[in-house]
Amino acid sequence: MIPLRLGPQNDMGPVHALLTRAFAYMEGRIDPPSSLGRMPPEVLAREAAENELWILPPAEAPLACMVLSPKPDHLYLGKLAVAEAARGRGLGRQMMDHAEARARALALPRLRLQTRIELSGNHATFRSLGFVEVARTAHPGYDRPTSLTFEKAV
């Protein structure tokens, strides 16, 4: 399956639904709550215009998605999600491979992502994919780390 890049003209409802379902388990587990609660489909359309929004088709019910944001020294990977019914089929790995390929195509030396400190399963997954923790940061108003930053050279 080949990842498909969506533009702002595409219907963001199916991607938003995928993200909402995939991130639902975080509710009540992470503090502060996920930014997804402040990201309606219109904001996803803006992300698609300003950055790169990729899905694994079909567009009417994507199996996976991610947002890639080029920065001066890295490609930031955000809002990575795989549909529950499609997990265990290597789709997350396929999206990560595509993110690495995009970083190389953009001549960016590394991928960067963040995950919440409470989501230890995510930390283990990203480490198994070759990412290393490079920083701990706090959301505004918090006096403790709330997120871990991971990087991987490409």
What's the pTM value of the predicted model, to 2 decimals? 0.95
Examine the pLDDT at 1 and tell me if it is beyond 90: no
Domains in the chain (CATH in brackets) are 4-153 (3.40.630.30)
| Per-residue burial over 32-50, b = 16 or more CB atoms within 10 Å of its CB, e = otherwise | eebebeebeeeebbebbee
Condensed to tens digits (0 to 9), the pLDDT of residues 90-103 reads 999 999 999 999 99
User: What 3-state class would DSSP assign to 21?
Assistant: helix
